[in-house]
Amino acid sequence: MGATFETIVFGVLAMFIIVMSVLTVTTGRIVRSATYLLFVLLGTAGLYFLLGYTFLGSVQIMVYAGGVVVLYVFSILLTSGAGDKAQKARRSRLFAGLVTSVAGAALVLFITMTHHFVPATGNEIPVETGINNIGRMMIGSGKYEYILPFEAVSIFLLACIVGALLIARKR
Amino acid sequence: MMFAGIYGFFTRHNMLAMLISVELMLNATDINFAVFNRFLFPAMKEGYFFSLFSIAISAAETAIAIAIMINIYRNVRSIQTKDIEDMKW
């Protein structure tokens, strides 16, 4: 019963994400596109919570749904694209894009469905990693620990801050 | 979601809409990593941490791209792809 409930919730979340992402790329107004993107990101966070990765879901909500979407809405308002509808692409370009996407999706779906995934051996029930363990792994320097990407991302963020300030400063 | 992002990247004229499609693609790969980690390697954490760092890097890259868009808007007064074809040969 637990497995089927999980399947139902996954099915609902997956349909929600698919519908919202298709609406994101086909709508004419860009503010609506940003709103549908917000729903897609919240649906993705829901998928992470369903997998048992609560920290990842929380980071997704805080960073993506709370930061990136606000950034997009502000930039849309700053570049004043909010009012006008997007002009439709040329018919041939729309059709070529649609054929490419559908063909690619069909290929990836075929490969995914016919691949024989080896399930995980070992019957331990996956226990969710506590936040103290995640923190310890993030700044540890052992074999499976992540101090190097952590420091690299911090330098990357510094470079992005300096770069964004330099690009967008007032002349 | 990945292919919706690819379709949006091909067919949109507004550059912010193209960036939104890139966000969709990045989100799709993050879900992929997390699900592979959970179902095929539940004792390891590599996919989980990869998704975590990918979220951080995607947010920073979005911020830089939006800064570039704002600079383009200041100079060219438009963010449609057909108005920035000066350097195209």
Number of domains, chain A: 2
Task: Using an 8 Å CB-CB cutoff, list chain A residues near B16.
Answer: 30, 72, 75-76, 79, 81
| Predicted local distance difference test score (pLDDT) of residue A125 | 65
Domain enclosing residue A145, as ranges:
130-171
Residue A112 belongs to some domain of the structure = no
Whether residues A68 and A142 fall in one domain: no
Q: Does B57 touch chain A (CB under 8 A)?
A: yes
**Count of H helices and E strands in chain A?**
7, 0
Query: Cα-Cα-Cα-Cα dihedral of A105, A110, A111, A114, to 10°?
Result: 160
Report if residue A59 sits inside a domain: yes
Residues A6 and A65 in one domain: yes
In this model, does residue A121 exceed pLDDT 80? no
Domain membership flag for residue A91: no
Enumerate the residues of chain A whose CB falls inside 8 A of the CB of residue B60.
156-157, 160
Mind listing the pLDDT tens digit for each residue in A9-18? 999 999 999 9
Closest CB from A51, A68, A81 relative to B62: A68
Residue A24: inside a domain, yes or no?
Answer: yes
Q: Does A134 share its domain with A74?
A: no
> What's the pLDDT band for A153 if we cut at 50, 70, 90?
very high
In a domain, A152, yes or no: yes
Of A84, A99, A121, the one marking the end of a domain is A84
**What pLDDT was estimated at residue A144?**
79
Structure token digits, residue B61: 């890259």
Q: Measured between alpha carbons, how far is A154 from B61 in angstroms, rounded to an integer? A: 13
Whether residue A4 sits in one domain with residue A59: yes
For residue A70, the domain's CATH number is: 1.20.120.1200
Domains of chain B (ranges plus CATH)? 2-81 (1.10.287.3510)
- Interval A32-61 mean pLDDT: 93
A67-81, pLDDT tens digit by residue?
999 999 999 988 876
Q: Pick the residue with more confidence: A43 or A170?
A: A43
Sign of torsion, CA A140 A141 A146 A152?
positive
